[in-house]
């Protein structure tokens, strides 16, 4: 399966919620959900709301995959890791996805979207504990320091992203120094701290049938 390269606003409309895939645009009245709050396509407005148990479970999985920009195979791998860990499988899955480096770069405000953060990581603009890491799925641990490379701090878009993030606020489990373009993972987030509109138990139920 290839990565989706079509209009990302269609994905938000399909799921019926803001997935924040377009960065700052999602916070304005230009957001597609604000303008057309119905599924895309010729028959989007005429679709019925009747849903089966399977379709509800599938939609939750699709929402989570699209929020974090993860394809099916790596998503299954994350789910397998979550099952092997102690605790609640659904919460373990969310925590693992939050630990991805591209997500941390986004959460710290060095990018306005996860796709943009993924590009920064792949292009070598990000280091973890003074070591360059170019793998977006790299899992960050508590205590790790994420930093924008010194040569990359002059990029206008990164500077603007940091300013915008400071106005919106940074999650409490992270610590960000705007001046040095560094961020530290204070702790892993609890489920209560993750305000994602996701019912992860439906995803667990879906994979339990496989």
Read out DSSP for 49-85? ----HHHHHHHHHHHHHHHHT--HHHHHHHHHHHHHS
Compute the mean pLDDT over every residue in the chain, rounded to the nearest whole number.
83
Would 46 be classed as within a structural domain? no
Q: Within this chain, do residues 91 and 170 fall inside the same structural domain, yes or no?
A: no
| Number of domains comprising the chain | 2
Of 4-13, 46-55, 113-122, which gets the smallest average pLDDT?
4-13
Question: Residue 79, Cβ neighbours under 10 Å: how many?
Answer: 22
pLDDT bin (cut points 50, 70, 90) of residue 204 is: very high
Which CATH number belongs to the domain containing residue 151 in this structure? 3.10.290.10
Q: Supply the pTM of this predicted model.
A: 0.81
pLDDT bin (cut points 50, 70, 90) of residue 1 is: very low
Q: Are 99 and 188 in contact, with CB atoms under 8 Å apart?
A: yes
Give the mean model confidence (pLDDT) for residues 98-123.
93
Distance, CA of 81 to CA of 73 (rounded, Å): 13
Tens-digit pLDDT profile for residues 115-152: 899 999 999 999 999 999 999 999 999 999 999 999 99
Of 62-66, 92-96, 97-101, which gets the smallest average pLDDT?
62-66
What is the residue range of 154's domain?
A: 100-185
């Amino acid at each position: 399966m290839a990565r989706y390269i079509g209009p990302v606003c269609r994905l938000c409309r399909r799921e019926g919620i803001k997935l924040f895939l377009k960065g700052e645009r999602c916070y304005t009245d230009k957001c597609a959900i604000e303008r057309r709050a119905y599924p895309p396509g010729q028959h989007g407005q005429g679709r019925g709301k009747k849903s089966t148990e399977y379709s509800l479970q599938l939609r939750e999985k699709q929402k989570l995959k699209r929020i974090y920009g993860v394809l099916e195979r790596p998503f299954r791998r994350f789910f397998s890791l979550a099952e092997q860990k102690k605790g609640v499988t659904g919460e373990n899955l969310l925590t693992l996805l939050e630990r991805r480096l591209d997500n941390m770069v986004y959460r710290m405000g060095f990018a306005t979207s996860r796709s943009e953060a993924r590009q920064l990581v792949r292009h070598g603009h990000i280091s973890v504990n003074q070591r360059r890491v170019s793998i977006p799925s790299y899992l960050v641990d508590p205590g790790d320091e994420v930093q924008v490379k010194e040569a990359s701090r002059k990029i206008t878009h990164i500077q603007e992203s940091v300013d915008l993030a400071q106005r919106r606020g940074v999650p409490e489990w992270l610590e960000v120094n705007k001046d040095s373009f560094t961020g530290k993972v204070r702790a892993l987030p609890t489920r209560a701290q993750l305000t994602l509109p996701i019912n992860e138990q439906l995803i667990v139920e879906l994979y339990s049938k496989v």
